[in-house]
Amino acid sequence: MLILHAHIYLNMNNKGKKSNSGGRKPERKEIRENRKKSGFSKKKPTSKSHKPDNLTRLNKYLADAGVCSRREADRLIESGVVKINGKVVTQLGTKVLPSDKVQYAGQTLKREKLRYLLLNKPKGFITTLDDPQNRRTVMTLVENACKERIYPVGRLDRNTLGLLLFTNDGEMTKKLTHPKFGVKKIYHVFLDKNLKKDDLDKIAGGMQLEDGFIKPDTIAYTTRDNDKKQIGIELHSGRNRIVRRVFESLGYNVIKLDRVFFAGLTKKDLPRGKWRMLKESEVNLLKRLG
């Protein structure tokens, strides 16, 4: 292609001129000179190790290692507790190579592959990394899922079923659990008795609980028949046992609670007690939140 462009350039410059070469072909030296004049100089490929995308910002490296969010990582860097190749680094925006040794709190960090796993939690498992009382934890359900160490995002109480996300992405965890991002959650509630229309309206309008005001985004009966024990409620609060406390405050007992929607994720094709890795499109969806 470059030779073709060179010939075109020569032909355009020699058009209407009498050739002194008697129709001879241009020498390689002439072609190279004309390439330079026409802007078609061939550049040597840049070494992969020097490409900008081979560098990672230090705060992202800390987040990818599961230490904390990027914003929190900036504070750690400024406080002087992070080292690169044995030297303390306090400059924000510092970038590291894959070969660099990054340390925090005396431990060498490893930038792991980011994992995102969705579990359909069954009843009887507590959301914690370990339990001194030897009760079953959600970690036993995902212990062989990947070699990276993953953590639950938020929590579901022992008797609550449904969607629970796990990841080693510290920044993502911070986003999905911080109230300002308003991550949407939908619960299917099973009550011990029919929910009165007046009580449904009270909940819809907002209620004052012992730890503050709570107002769901939406609430409705999930069936069209006279069975009004099943309720769908959508809210973004992450307060402890918030759904159960809303109904208990009005004299109802929640006999079953199932989180069926979390941050755009659903239980479709995910049986109870099973897990799956998120698709790339789902991860991108989570990254766009907020």
Q: What residues have CB less than 8 Å from 195, skipping those under 6 apart?
A: 221, 228, 229, 231, 247, 252
pLDDT of residue 65: 81
Domain with 126 in it: what CATH number? Answer: 3.30.2350.10
Tokens encoding 44: 């040597």
pLDDT of residue 11: 41
Give the count of domains, the chain.
Answer: 2
pLDDT of residue 34: 60
Is beta strand 160-167 parallel, antiparallel or unpaired with respect to 254-262?
parallel
If asked whether residues 139 and 203 sit together in one domain, one would say yes
If asked whether residues 120 and 99 sit together in one domain, one would say no
Question: How are the residues of the chain apportioned to helix, strand and coil, as percentages rounded to the nearest 5?
Answer: 30, 25, 45
If asked whether residues 81 and 153 sit together in one domain, one would say no
What is the C-alpha radius of gyration for the chain, rounded to an integer number of angstroms? 30
What is the CA 211 to chain-centroid distance, rounded? 30
Residue 12: inside a domain: no
pLDDT of residue 113: 83
Q: Is 169 part of the annotated catalytic residue set?
A: no
Among 157, 192, 201, 227, the active-site one is: 157
Q: Tell me, letter by letter, the H, E, C secondary structure of 58-104.
A: HHHHHHHCCCCCHHHHHHHHHHCCEEECCEECCCCCCEECCCCCEEE
Tokens encoding 286: 């989570």
If asked whether residues 147 and 241 sit together in one domain, one would say yes
Residue 20: inside a domain: no
If asked whether residues 229 and 267 sit together in one domain, one would say yes
Pairwise CA distance, residues 177 & 155, whole Å: 10
Residue 21: inside a domain: no
pLDDT of residue 269: 92
Domain with 67 in it: what CATH number? Answer: 3.10.290.10
Tokens encoding 71: 């914003």
Domain hosting residue 175, numbered range: 116-288
pLDDT of residue 23: 52
If asked whether residues 211 and 260 sit together in one domain, one would say yes
Mark the ranges of the chain whose per-residue pLDDT is less than 50: 1-22, 39-51
If asked whether residues 141 and 284 sit together in one domain, one would say yes
Residue 97: inside a domain: yes
If asked whether residues 71 and 185 sit together in one domain, one would say no
Asked whether the beta carbons of 201 and 269 are under 8 A apart, the reply is: no
Buried b (16+ CB within 10 A) or exposed e, 61-83: bbbbbbbbbbebbbebbeeeebb
pLDDT of residue 30: 63
Residue 26: inside a domain: no
